[in-house]
């Protein structure tokens, strides 16, 4: 699955549903009661303070309806910004060279999460700013700012930007995505279909809290990663990527990332849980990249090797049908120091069976840290061997 966006050229509150439902009932009652009151007399129109104005012809009553949703949006929407990816258009090689300026290559959204020392920091999706030569930020009031990309991470689809904070008035508060429950109300704020619909608001509920979505990062038709996401039925459309998924207390509990866009599918939007995103955001802000552990080998799924070759070339037992083949070992790496060699077949890590590159990657990235010692079992020439590998940093 890829990402669904528009990156192609061109004060705590409770009772969320109770207040909203009460507002709906009040609206229904207003229509039911006031409409029959039309007369041929002068119109009675009521403003916010309840004063009556008269307009010749009809009688009508207007009122300002506020709910917890409108209050939350008013308090938080200014922290959601537009993000524009600027790239220089590729020139026709058969035409004379001309000077060109960077043009809009795609748009998305971002969330201002911090102000410090004259700068404001914004989290968005990696795929929103991927390939950008310049990045522009558009605030809720239309102010446009130049942004610096501090860091991006393709695996988690997150990026962090920095802008001068002179015009920044609102900073989002992160919530706790670990306590979310299915059915909990949420609000999505972003810029669907670009800046034309900036600050759009949709509402819904948490449909699921622990969803794993396969991601094909390099678009080669193979699954590279399993993204852990929140599922919501709040509408998420192209351009919403990088925007905020907010709970009823006005806290950001997810970064909107993608939706399942299939003809038979309706209302499945996905967001990166904020508890998962927070340490990634910190690394991108302070280091420009995410520190991840590495064995120091290039690898290939055993499943891609014909069964005949597994026995004739690798001398594997007939019952070994999954694992990871070591194609090469980097000199000076933890794998090299431990003694791993080309054509070793990794089948177990820290006592857990690993049958694919994806499983190996998930074990390393989710369960280990740089400096840890990894216990690895491999088949070499038909013999099962065990190695202890010290994990080093890979950026």
23's CB contacts (< 8 A; 6+ apart) are: 65, 66, 67
Which residues is 121 bridged to in the sheet?
114, 162
Residues catalogued as catalytic: 127, 157, 241
Angle between helical axes of 16-34 and 68-76 (0-180°, round to 10): 120
Cα 139-142-148 angle, rounded to 5 deg: 45
How far apart (Å, rounded) are the C-alpha atoms in residues 84 and 390? 42
153's CB contacts (< 8 A; 6+ apart) are: 126, 159, 280, 283, 284, 289, 290
Cα 313-316-318 angle, rounded to 5 deg: 120
- Where are the strands (E) in 125-266, listed by range? 134-138, 144-153, 158-164, 185-190, 200-215, 225-232, 244-246, 252-259
The H or E element spanning position 273 is strand 269-273
Residue 228 contacts residue 158 (beta carbons within 8 Å):
no
Q: What is the CA radius of gyration of the chain?
A: 27
Helix, strand, coil distribution of the chain in percent, nearest 5: 20, 35, 40
How far apart (Å, rounded) are the C-alpha atoms in residues 318 and 129? 47
**Which tokens go with 125?**
């999706």
DSSP secondary structure, 325-337, as one string? EEEEE-TTSHHHH
């Amino acid at each position: 699955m890829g990402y669904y966006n528009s990156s192609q050229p061109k004060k705590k509150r409770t009772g969320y549903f109770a207040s909203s439902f009460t507002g709906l009932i009040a609206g229904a009652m207003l229509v039911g009661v006031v409409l029959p009151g039309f007369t041929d007399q002068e119109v009675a129109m009521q403003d916010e303070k309840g004063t009556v104005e008269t307009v010749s012809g009809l009688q009508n009553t207007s009122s300002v309806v506020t709910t917890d949703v409108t209050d939350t949006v008013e308090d938080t929407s200014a922290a959601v910004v537009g993000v524009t990816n600027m790239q220089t258009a590729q020139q026709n090689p058969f035409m004379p060279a001309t000077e060109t300026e960077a043009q809009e290559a795609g748009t998305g959204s971002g969330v201002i999460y911090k102000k410090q020392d004259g700068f404001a920091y914004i989290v968005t999706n990696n795929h929103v700013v991927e390939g950008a030569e310049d990045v522009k930020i558009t605030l809720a009031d239309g102010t446009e700012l130049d942004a610096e990309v501090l860091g991006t991470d393709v695996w988690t689809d997150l990026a962090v930007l920095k802008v001068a904070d002179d015009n920044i008035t609102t900073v989002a508060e992160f919530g706790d995505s670990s306590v979310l429950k299915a059915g909990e109300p949420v609000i999505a704020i972003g810029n669907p279909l670009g800046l034309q619909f900036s600050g759009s608001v949709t509402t819904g509920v948490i449909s699921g809290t622990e969803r794993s979505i396969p991601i094909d990062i390099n678009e080669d038709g193979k699954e590279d990663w399993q993204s852990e996401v929140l599922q919501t039925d709040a509408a998420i459309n192209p351009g919403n990527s990088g925007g905020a998924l907010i709970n009823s207390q006005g806290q950001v509990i997810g970064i909107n990332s993608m939706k399942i866009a299939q003809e038979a599918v309706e209302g499945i939007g996905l967001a990166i849980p904020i508890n998962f995103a927070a340490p990634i955001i910190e690394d991108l802000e302070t280091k420009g990249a995410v520190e991840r552990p590495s064995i120091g080998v290039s690898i290939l799924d055993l499943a891609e090797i014909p069964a005949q070759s597994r026995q004739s070339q690798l001398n594997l037992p007939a019952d070994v049908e999954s694992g990871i083949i070591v194609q090469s070992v980097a000199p000076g790496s933890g794998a090299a120091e431990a003694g791993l060699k080309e054509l070793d077949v990794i089948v177990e890590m820290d006592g857990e069976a690993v049958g694919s590159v994806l499983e190996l990657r998930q074990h390393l990235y989710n369960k280990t840290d740089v400096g840890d010692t990894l216990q690895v079992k491999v088949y070499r020439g038909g013999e099962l061997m065990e190695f202890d590998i010290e994990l080093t940093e890979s950026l």
